[in-house]
Amino acid sequence: MTTNHNLYDVLSQRFPANGNQPFIVHPTGGQLSYSQMEHCSAQLANYLCGLGLSTGDRVAVQVKKSSEALMVYLACLRAGFIYLPLNTGYTEAELKYFFSDANPSLVIADPAEQSYCQPLAQQQSALFETLDAMGGGSLFERSASSSPYFDNVISGADDLAAILYTSGTTGRPKGAMLSHGNLAANALMLHDYWGWNQDDVLLHALPIFHVHGLFVACHCVLAAGASMIFMPSFNVEDVITQLPKATVMMGVPTFYTRLLATGDFSAGQCSAMRLFISGSAPLLATTHQAFEQRTGHRILERYGMSETSMLISNPLQGERRAGTVGLPLPGITVRLVDADNQAVAIGDVGSIQVKGPNIFQGYWKMPEKTAQEFTEDGFFITGDQGVISADGYISIVGRTKDMVISGGYNVYPKEVELVIDAIEGVKESAVFGVADADFGEAVAVAIVADRALDSVAVITSAKEKLAAYKVPRHVYFLTELPRNNMGKVQKNSLREMFSGVTSR
């Protein structure tokens, strides 16, 4: 018999015997059971197949978070379409690039964005459907009469399930291709490693267009046949209200600093919780300690990427060490190497390279770029730098890639610099990160201009082209950028120059 590696099929073997078990619990009341989820995703899969989509076609989705949006993802898995989630903040200019690069067969967008999304979809000869945060729009209206039964397609382990775009050092975003086998390997391993069970209730307040909120969070719940409270976004008061009903929460460090900044947040609200997980950006050791003091819980920090899903994690049992991301996860080989790919000594800084069944299939339509990111012996070069302790705990201490992480979102300076440089009067610019109490890092730009420029006008202009989280929050004007004798802009000098300096 052929083994079906289809991720939905793999996960569905573990769904609860009782189909009435809630899969999604809405914070404002109401729920979606496992049976309802199976029927709804089947209806959508049938409808999408009826549109003429074939296995391997891309379905690009830029919609607000909702249980319906998650059903679209599951339907794509079931039917073998490649799911392409897009940040709801992306502007028209950004979407244009993604659509032309990924060449989707279907675009699904919020009705509020139809006026510009539909023409962009048409330019690529893609079909177009709408979906809003309440489940309204053409997609659910039209699929309502489709059959609620669907035979999941047979997928190979290497068949693509999703493409996640991550920006790059050239300013041109790259689509990381993840297969059914990649995602299943990580989901089942995390399920076991973090001790998931059917009684777990995840407080889900992350966006569902990234590896963290879509794959790590939802796959763990599905693999356990557990439930999740599906919040539209992270709002600290709403999270505090829902926390007593949850057993697990996943978040970026900003979630934890915002909870701690709230006087109302206390151990009492965490009485049912068994696990707080943090990732996507560095969790300060001071946040880890303050959280333990306030709640009695030691946050479990883990480390991963879009290209790889989760790689390293603090243990469920055993010491969760503040300031570290823990130990390599089961089945994943992690090595820290120097410039000659030789293992570094304990305590020395090394480039982090990884291998395992979760590592992606390459960048969409970029074979040369893909080849550059792997070593000759098949390790993926993460672009992060770490230090390993004598007992194997790894700390992330830097990055070889030029990147800023703001509130868990990655911003690639080159992409922002290209937009700023195109503003009239700007001679050149350099984008870098500065410490920020809320977002961990905030995007800043140093500009050399040939005339007097107004920082507000620079920000307004950048907002037309870039998602809001990429737009610099600090603008500094300089007569020249600091460079080394090779002519390379010294971003470390900029970070030092402007740490704690108010921008103009």
206 binds ligand AMP (CB under 6 A): no
Query: Given candidates 5, 204, 210, 491, which one binds ligand MLC under the rule CB under 6 A?
Result: 210
For ligand MLC, the closer of residues 206 and 446 by Cβ is 206
Query: Given candidates 34, 379, 380, 409, which one binds ligand MLC under the rule CB under 6 A?
Result: 409
Chain-centre distance for alpha carbon 227:
21
DSSP string, 365-378: T-HHHHHHTB-TTS
For ligand MLC, the closer of residues 150 and 439 by Cβ is 439
Amino acid in position 321: R
Phi/psi for 125 (5° steps) reads 60, 30
Cα 156 from Cα 136, distance rounded (Å): 34
Taking the CB of residue 451, how many other CB atoms lie within 10 A of it? 8
For ligand MLC, the closer of residues 187 and 211 by Cβ is 211
Q: Which two tokens stand for residue 104?
A: 């989707």
Size of the site for ligand MLC (CB under 6 A): 23
For ligand MLC, the closer of residues 43 and 186 by Cβ is 186
DSSP H helical ranges for 329-408: 367-372
173 binds ligand MLC (CB under 6 A): no
Query: Given candidates 254, 358, 361, 429, which one binds ligand MLC under the rule CB under 6 A?
Result: 254
b/e 352-378 (16+ beta carbons within 10 angstroms → b): bbbbbebbbbbbbebeeebeebeeeee
305 binds ligand MLC (CB under 6 A): yes
439 binds ligand MLC (CB under 6 A): yes
Query: Hey, which residues between 229 and 248 contact ligand MLC (CB under 6 A)?
Result: 233-234
Query: Given candidates 63, 109, 211, 359, which one binds ligand AMP under the rule CB under 6 A?
Result: 211
**Residues contacting 143, CB < 8 A, separation 6+:** 43, 44, 46, 47, 48
Cα 276 from Cα 291, distance rounded (Å): 10
406 forms bridges with which residues in the sheet? 409, 440
408 binds ligand MLC (CB under 6 A): yes
User: What mask, x for binding ligand MLC by CB under 6 A, covers residues 443 to 482?
Assistant: -------------------------xx-------------
Measured between alpha carbons, how far apart are the two ends of the chain, in Å? 67
Query: Given candidates 281, 327, 442, 462, which one binds ligand AMP under the rule CB under 6 A?
Result: 281
Query: Which residues contact ligand MLC (rule: CB under 6 A)?
Result: 89, 206-207, 210-213, 233-234, 252, 254, 279-280, 304-306, 406-409, 439, 468-469
Query: Which residues contact ligand AMP (rule: CB under 6 A)?
Result: 166, 211, 279-282, 301, 303-306, 325, 382-384, 396, 399, 405, 410
